[in-house]
Chains A and B, each alone.
Chain A
Amino acid sequence: MSTAPDTSPGSSSTPPSEALLRDALRTVIDPEIGLDIVTVGLIYDVEINEGIARVTFTLTTPGCPMEAHITQGIVRALSIVPGVTDVETNLVWDPSWHPGMITEASW
């Protein structure tokens, strides 16, 4: 899925780091677990190339009612990061998520 975010902050000359993008994604939470989607382990990969942020992620279960909100949340959270001109999301089910993927000591 590709969306065209607000590009106004994207005029920064240096591309944002992956760590910065992951930090931005921490504003999106899994409301039931009560942790952000990075800590929960839903984000499999984040990369940026020529201003386009690509996020490979999963959900806790197929058919999760949160799919639309988490996808939109990812797009919104990254769109406001300076240097990001577009966000592409890629929802995958392999490997499937399990609670062991939650970052330890995050409770």
Chain B
Amino acid sequence: MSGPPLRLPGEHFIAGLVFLVLGALGLVSVAPALSVGAYPAPTLVGVIHLFTLGWITTSIMGALYQFLPVALGQSIASERAAHVTFALYVSGVAALVAGMYLGRHTLLLVGVATLGVAIVMFLVNLGITLYRAERRELTWWAVCAAAVFLGITLVFGTALSLNLGNGFLGAAHDIALGTHIHVALFGWVLLVMVGVAHRLLPMFLLSHGGRTYFASYAVALLATGAGLLTVFHHVPILGREVPAFFLAAGVFAFLIQAREFYRKRHRPALDPGLHLAAFALGLLAVAIPLGALVLFGVASLNVRVAYVLTVLLACSLFVAAHYFKIVPFLIWNRHFGPLAGTRPLPRVGDLYSQRLANVAAACLALGAAMLAASVAAGSLVGVRVGAALFATGVVIEAGQMTAIARRRP
């Protein structure tokens, strides 16, 4: 069972990187809104969706097409449908974000509709693949649950988009927004991260002999939390404190699992990608106490925005870290692999500059930390510097990925 040709994951990774560059530049432009915690500002919401839909979800889709044959022994059911889905998805994200950023409601709704069709097509294709898979281990369960929550995220997102035109949600808007954000980040993105990391982190770190059951706890806790939030979001305790406890416990279990993988690694030196992944996990740990402040109502508007931004940046960096592992491997496999056994070949890590990758990782990590801290503190200068650092890291990483894609024997 082999993965799809380079084109399918490749087109997703290219689009994901374009969205990441736009999102990073967008962060610089919305620094004033971020520094005052003005989350509902349409321009800020547009930039945030460049990260959630454009960068993270596009990357997840591309990575799953490559990863499912390895993890589940099952290739995606229809590659052709996946290409069509990609075209619709990218168009949908572009229209949605442009509609939000420019304040054009009709364009936004066109984007939502296109995106909706694309996500449903993706879920059907993924669902058939998961149904056919014979290997039903933790990754299978994590991806199944995540797929359900992607669908739920779409439902809440569509409702919020329609609400912009007619305000039908009324006082329920804030609850719907909170549910949308948490189901998207914890139910969709983090569940995929836990499921994929359960296979990839030990593979990249060469971990052996550690405890692996924390990942099962993480999947169960995150799925339960996101499920309770979905069903009971309008109920005071069952829809707020209880799901929050499960989600925080799920994140904690994931962090313990990741720490176990890092501690039990056979690979002595960490490369830039694995350093950045470790930092992203550390940033995710910071989100737990921030979330507690928000939950117990003692957080200012700035801290609330900083909390969401911290989770978002942690997930973004975790994905960015894996690009340094996955993209050079795909290029090696395509262009260098056929020469195996005929002459000495470079390693995957030789396909890019370790020094520049370290600079990119440092800029991304410092920028993300400064962004989150400055938003919490309400410092416009800090937000601008943090966003600029982050954007610098993104541009360097995008340049490195372009250079990798051009490498030939």
**Residues of A participating in the B interface, judged by any CB pair closer than 8 Å:** 27-29, 31-34, 60-70, 72-77, 98-100, 102, 107
Contact = CB atoms under 8 A, between A and B. Distances in A.
Interface in B318-375: 325, 329, 332-333, 336-338, 340-349
Contact of B338 (A27, A28, A62, A72): A72
A28 B342 CA distance: 8
Given A33-B206, A63-B69, A99-B207, A69 B347 contact: no
B236 interface: no
Given A32-B329, A68-B2, A60 B347 contact: no
Given A31-B329, A100-B209, A102-B206, A72 B341 contact: yes
Contacts of B338: 69, 72
A78 to B, nearest CB: 8
Given A67-B2, A99-B207, A75 B341 contact: yes
Interface residues of B, number: 36
Contacts of B337: 31, 66, 68-69
Name the residue among B207, B325, B329, B342 with the largest chain A CB count within 10 angstroms.
B342
Contact of B266 (A73, A76, A102): A102
Shortest beta-carbon contacts, A-B, top 8: A73-B340, A73-B341, A76-B341, A69-B337, A99-B206, A77-B341, A34-B347, A99-B266
Nearest to B349: A34
Contact of A32 (B199, B204, B268, B344): B204
A73 B340 CA distance: 5
Contacts of A32: 203-204, 325, 329, 347-348
B7 to A, nearest CB: 15
Contacts of B203: 32, 60-61
B298 interface: no
B3 interface: yes
A75 B342 CA distance: 10
A80 to B, nearest CB: 9
Nearest to B2: A65
Interface string B187-218: 00000000000010001101111000000000
A63 B3 CA distance: 8
Contact of B70 (A64, A99, A102): A64
B340 A100 contact: no
Given A31-B336, A31-B348, A100-B209, A63 B73 contact: yes
